[in-house]
Homo-oligomer: A and B are copies of this chain.
Amino acid sequence: VRRSREEAARTRRSAVKAASRLFRQRGIEAVGVDEVMAKLGMTAGGFYRHFLNKEALAAEACAEAFAESGLLQARSARALLRRYLSEEHRDAAAFGCPLPALTSDMARQPDAVRRAFTRGVRASAARVAQLAPGGNSLALLAGIVGALALARAVKDQELSAAILRGSRRFWMKELGRGRVRL
């Protein structure tokens, strides 16, 4: 059942995109190769025509997640905060920022995956520094990543919303004070 080179290339790209979303939604270890391939209407066997193993897919999926990420494309610090710390972002992890979604998976991942993730952290920190120059970009980045991660982890709508709201207000005020400019 050979396919044309173009079709094969499309299969590969689709696998990376599907994996990137599934991994963000449920974690890398919780998603099987079968499930990723099933998303493309294919069986797991063909996977190994495209990737050395699951680890290689995870590394590419990680890079892809940062490329899709809204954080790197944000126009202003205020817009970033509003969107990042929203309930929509909290409830759509599959299409959201990989930082809150994958951070705790990273400690247990092989080096290739961790390196891809680390590049994404550096790029995100640089983008935040651009949007809010003069401020403490690493503290801001850590603050919003932690807030989203906690808001997702907690089983209490009230508390979850309070975490997002509290962090949004705090960092908006910081921007207003000019210590972290927009």
Contact = CB atoms under 8 A, between A and B. Distances in A.
Contacts of A30: 29, 108
Interface in A131-182: 136-139, 141-147, 149-150, 152-156, 159, 162-163, 166-167, 169-171
Contact of A156 (B102, B118, B147): B118
Copies in the complex: 2
Given A121-B153, A146-B149, A159-B121, A136 B104 contact: no
Nearest to A85: B142
Contacts of A101: 104
Contacts of A163: 138, 142
Interface string A25-47: 01101100000000000000000
Contacts of A170: 136, 139
Given A29-B29, A170-B136, A106 B153 contact: yes
Chain A binding surface, main DSSP class = helix
24 contacts: A99-B150, A100-B146, A102-B153, A104-B104, A115-B155, A118-B153, A118-B159, A121-B154, A122-B159, A136-B167, A137-B166, A138-B147, A138-B163, A139-B169, A142-B146, A142-B149, A142-B163, A142-B167, A143-B143, A143-B147, A144-B146, A145-B146, A145-B149, A149-B149
